[in-house]
């Protein structure tokens, strides 16, 4: 069973999400194990301080290296080495191929930050891989950590009710988005379901879906099908 460890200053924000949806079912069925560690517990003073002003001046506070390094060491002494990931707006954009690799790892540690970020030395000492979920900045790394966790977890066999759901997702082949989906009613406010989907001709349906996936990709994400943009 894969183990995911999340280091955060707000474990309650993560733990509540782990009780619902895909992740909740995966945990309940013991298909994945998730532990959330508050690295404030590893601070060195009675005020449980984890941040300080940046050397050189500037706005905000920077997370000190000691609590995080000691938290990681504590986790790995008990559970073994992890693949170490830090959520960072300056990191590598996280894509589906990264989720697939993470889904096969035995142990993954996700470090969620706050404030202006981490002291760079802790990232160097522990050889973290930085990943970003987009070109924007959030108040902390908890939401990105959950994004990575869910993206990986849903690719683990048994987590989804039908494993074809993951196989046919957008980005599953790294080239196209998912095709449009339709369900009942057949007509809604004058808009009808494409007739090919009602024929029962699976080869025709597959061809339509591939055509629509290619069309959607070209319109919305032309970079996915452009070798220069790859």
Residues serving a catalytic function are 89, 116, 154, 169
Provide Rg for the chain, Cα atoms. 21
Alpha-carbon span 174 to 95, nearest angstrom? 9
- Nearest one of 81, 99, 112 to 22, comparing CA atoms: 99
Q: Both tokens of residue 152? A: 């990986």
Alpha-carbon span 164 to 177, nearest angstrom? 15
- CA angle at 131 for the pair 62 and 73, rounded to the nearest 5°: 60
């Amino acid at each position: 069973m894969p183990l995911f460890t999340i280091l955060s200053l707000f474990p309650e924000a993560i733990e509540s999400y782990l009780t619902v949806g895909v992740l909740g079912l995966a945990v309940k069925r013991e298909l994945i194990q998730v532990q959330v560690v508050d690295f404030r517990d590893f601070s060195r003073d009675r005020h449980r301080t984890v941040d300080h002003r940046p050397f050189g001046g500037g706005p905000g506070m920077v997370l000190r290296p000691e609590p995080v390094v000691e938290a990681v060491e504590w986790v790995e002494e008990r559970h073994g080495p992890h693949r170490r990931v830090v959520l960072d707006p300056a990191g590598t954009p996280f894509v589906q191929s990264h989720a697939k690799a993470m889904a096969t790892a035995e142990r993954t540690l996700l470090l969620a930050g706050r404030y202006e970020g981490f002291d760079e030395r802790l990232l160097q000492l522990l050889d973290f891989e930085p990943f970003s979920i987009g070109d924007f900045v959030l108040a902390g790394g908890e939401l990105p950590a959950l994004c990575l966790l869910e993206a990986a977890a849903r690719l683990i066999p048994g987590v989804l009710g039908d494993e074809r759901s993951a196989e046919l997702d957008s980005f599953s082949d790294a080239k196209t988005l998912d095709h449009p989906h339709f369900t009942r009613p057949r007509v809604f406010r004058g808009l009808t379901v494409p007739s090919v989907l009602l024929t029962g001709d699976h080869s025709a349906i597959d061809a339509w879906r591939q055509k629509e996936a290619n069309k959607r990709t070209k319109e919305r994400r032309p970079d996915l099908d452009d070798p220069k943009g790859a």
